[in-house]
Amino acid sequence: MTESARPRVIGFNHVALEVGDIEEALAFYGRLFEFELRGKSDNMAFIDLGDQFIALQKGRRQPPDDGRHFGLVVEDKEAARRALEAAGVALIEGPFLDFRDPWGNRVEIVGYDNIQFTKAPNVLRSMGLTHLAKNENAKKELADKGMAP
């Protein structure tokens, strides 16, 4: 890379969400998803996503998110829908499976099988998720970009 060249963005290490209370946030997300903590303090908690993580940080003061959101990849989107409904979480109307947490963070649930996003085989193995596969649309998207396995 030359001195004037700009670095290429290649992915996300983590997403940070501001919440009102760390314990309440862990309880809320724990009702929806199975996860392991990477670490925790009074003001922060880190939800492990294999080679990535979500950082929960105490201190949310802004109004609820509207269009701003992040897409959380799950192994089974319909199981996530059932968990949201069972927890009484209101879904946001529209074509996607979106909701807001109690602090206004907007989350879109995305199924692993239906998107380009791909965990490396060693990461899937360490997470106990080697059974996951892509559907035909996702396989085509990956192949069209030269990223098919």
Extents of the domains making up the chain: 14-144
CATH topology of domain 14-144: 2,3-Dihydroxybiphenyl 1,2-Dioxygenase; domain 1 (3.10.180)
The tokens for 28 are 């809320």
How many angstroms separate the CA atoms of 149 and 133, rounded? 11
pLDDT, tens digit, for every residue of 74-112? Answer: 999 999 999 999 999 999 999 999 999 999 999 999 999
**Amino acid 135: pLDDT:** 94
Which residues pair with residue 7 across a beta bridge? Answer: none
Residue 64 per-residue DSSP state: P
**Amino acid 149: pLDDT:** 76
